[in-house]
């Protein structure tokens, strides 16, 4: 299961991604918003709680740029969020960083590219191996805080 959420700046992009997920038969939980104003840190916290609790494996967070969502999400232990606006970054954030949250900005990318990035993010597995050591070091940094 994946979770998807946005602030009021990315409702159209969220709807396009959910329609694509429906077409692909991919189960997801819509965490909102549906247009009502909200603060992106609150949305990031609620969505990431679904991942850290084990209710969801990965998440998609959307705002105007994707940057605010990623900054908020990355404050939560166990979350590795990446802002992506190109296919290479979406692929390698999974392969090498085992990212569990994809962040994108409606004001930055179009819907066609966004659904392509979602597909890459959801269908690319973590390579592990030498990259696991680095992901473990990220976890160690979280534990120092």
Q: ∠ at Cα 52 (128, 89), nearest 5°?
A: 45
Is 123 a catalytic site residue?
no
Work out the burial of residue 10: count CB atoms within 10 Å of its CB; fewer than 13 is exposed, 13-18 middle, 19 or more buried: buried
Burial of 84 (0-12, 13-18, 19+ CB in 10 A): buried
The answer to whether residue 38 is catalytic is no
CA angle 9, 94, 67 (to 5 degrees): 25
Q: Which of these is catalytic: 8, 20, 96, 131?
A: 96
In sequence order, the 6+-apart residues with CB closer than 8 A to the CB of 102 are: 58, 59, 60, 61, 81, 82, 84, 90, 93, 117, 118, 121
Catalytic, out of 63, 84, 123, 131: 63
Per the CB < 8 A criterion, the answer to whether 108 and 66 are in contact is yes
Residues designated catalytic: 63, 96
């Amino acid at each position: 299961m994946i979770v998807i959420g946005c602030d009021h700046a990315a409702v159209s992009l969220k709807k396009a991604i959910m329609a694509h997920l429906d077409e692909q038969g991919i189960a997801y939980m819509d965490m909102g918003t549906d247009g009502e104003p909200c603060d992106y840190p609150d949305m990031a916290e609620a969505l990431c709680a679904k991942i850290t609790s084990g209710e969801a494996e990965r998440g998609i967070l959307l705002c105007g740029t994707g940057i605010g969502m990623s900054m908020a999400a990355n404050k939560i232990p166990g979350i590795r969020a990446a802002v992506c606006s190109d296919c290479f970054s979406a692929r390698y954030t999974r392969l090498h960083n085992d990212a569990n949250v994809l962040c994108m900005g409606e004001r930055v990318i179009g819907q066609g590219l966004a659904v392509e990035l979602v597909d890459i993010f959801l269908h690319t597995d973590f390579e592990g191996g030498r990259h696991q050591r680095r992901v473990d070091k990220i976890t160690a940094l979280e534990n120092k805080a």
